[in-house]
C-alpha cells in the first residue's frame, strides 16, 4: 500500500499552526508527506467575510491537489474541522474515484475531538462557548476551554496566534448536506479532559458515526499537549 499524504484541517480560531508539533514528528521520524489547510473565513470581517462554503472549498482544493496526482490521502480534522471536512470530501473518496477508473482518493478520516453533525443540520451561532463581539466571534475563556493542559509558554504562544471567526453571515442558511464519515473509514480520538467538547458528547458522536475509537487523557488541543500520541496514531492508521 502506497504511503498516503496527510492533510490537516483546523477548527475555529486556531489556524494550522496547532499541528506543527505533530507534523514535525511525522515528517522527520516517519517520513510522511503532509499538507495543511487554512480556513479562509478565519480572521475575516465585512465586507470581505468568507463563509462556510469558502472553507469547504479550501479543504476540497487541498485534497484535490493530491488525489489528482493519484495519491491516497488521510484527512486529520480537529474540532469544527470535522464537519467542514466531512462536507468537503464528497466525491473524493478512494471508492468514488475508483468507480471512475481514477487513482487516489481519501482513504481515511481521523477526527481529533471532532465536531460532527448529520445531514439536514443547520448552522447555529449560539454555542455556549462563543464570545461574540460585534462582527467577531471568539472562544470564551480559551485558556480554560482549549488549553488547560498545554504547557503555559506554549499556551500563550497559541493564544497569540488565535484569530476570530465571523460572527455574522458565515453560516447563514447553510445546511449540512453530506457526511463523509458515512462513506469513508474513520477514527475518532476521544480526549477525556476536553472542556469545550465534554466527554459524553464525544462518546455519542464517535458511536453515532461508527468510528474506530481511540482515547487519551488530553484536553481540546491534543496536538499541542500530546503531539507524540497524535503522531503515533496517524502512523499506525496510515499503515492499515
* Tens digit of each residue's pLDDT (9 = 90 or more) over 70-124: 999 999 999 999 999 999 999 999 999 999 999 999 999 999 999 998 998 876 6
pLDDT at position 2: 73
Cβ proximity of 164 and 136 under 8 Å: yes
Nearest Cα to Cα of residue 172 among 132, 125, 206, 205: 125
pLDDT averaged over the chain?
94
Range of the domain at 16: 5-238
Q: What is the mean pLDDT of residues 45-57?
A: 93
Q: Burial, 54: exposed, middle or buried (Cβ in 10 Å; 0-12, 13-18, 19+)? A: middle
C-alpha grid cell for residue 27?
A: 515528517
Query: Within 10 A of 235 (CB to CB), how many other CB atoms are there?
Result: 16
Positive or negative: CA dihedral 159, 163, 167, 172: negative
In this predicted structure, the answer to whether residue 144 has a pLDDT above a threshold of 80 is: yes
Q: For 147-174, write each residue's pLDDT tens digit.
A: 999 999 999 999 999 999 998 888 777 7
SS3 70: coil
SS3 129: coil
Counting the structural domains of the chain, the total is: 1
| 120 HSE (CA, 13 A, CB side) | 0
Q: Burial, 3: exposed, middle or buried (Cβ in 10 Å; 0-12, 13-18, 19+)? A: middle
Residue 128's domain is classified under what CATH number? Answer: 3.40.50.1820
pLDDT at position 172: 72
pLDDT at position 125: 66
Q: What is the pTM of this model?
A: 0.96
Amino acid at each position: 500500500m502506497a504511503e498516503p499524504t496527510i492533510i490537516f484541517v483546523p477548527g475555529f480560531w486556531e489556524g494550522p499552526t496547532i499541528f506543527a508539533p505533530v507534523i514535525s514528528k511525522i515528517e522527520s521520524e516517519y517520513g510522511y508527506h503532509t499538507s495543511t489547510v487554512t480556513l479562509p473565513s478565519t480572521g475575516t470581517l465585512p465586507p470581505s467575510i468568507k463563509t462556510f462554503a469558502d472553507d469547504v472549498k479550501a479543504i476540497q482544493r487541498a485534497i484535490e491537489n493530491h488525489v489528482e496526482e493519484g495519491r491516497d490521502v488521510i484527512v486529520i480534522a480537529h474540532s469544527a474541522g470535522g464537519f467542514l471536512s466531512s462536507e468537503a470530501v464528497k466525491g473524493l473518496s478512494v471508492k468514488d474515484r475508483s468507480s471512475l477508473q481514477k487513482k487516489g482518493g481519501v482513504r481515511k478520516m481521523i477526527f481529533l475531538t471532532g465536531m460532527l453533525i448529520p445531514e439536514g443540520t443547520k448552522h447555529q451561532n449560539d454555542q455556549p462557548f462563543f464570545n461574540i463581539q460585534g462582527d467577531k466571534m471568539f472562544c470564551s475563556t480559551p485558556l480554560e476551554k482549549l488549553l488547560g493542559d498545554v504547557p503555559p509558554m506554549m499556551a500563550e504562544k497559541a493564544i497569540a496566534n488565535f484569530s476570530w471567526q465571523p460572527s455574522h453571515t458565515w453560516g447563514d442558511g447553510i445546511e449540512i448536506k453530506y457526511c463523509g464519515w458515512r462513506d469513508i473509514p474513520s477514527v475518532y480520538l476521544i480526549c477525556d479532559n476536553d472542556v469545550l467538547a465534554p466527554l459524553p458528547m464525544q462518546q455519542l458522536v464517535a458511536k453515532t458515526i461508527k468510528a474506530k475509537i481511540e482515547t487519551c487523557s488530553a484536553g481540546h488541543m491534543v496536538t499541542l499537549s500530546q503531539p507524540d500520541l497524535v503522531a503515533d496514531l496517524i502512523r499506525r492508521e496510515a499503515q492499515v
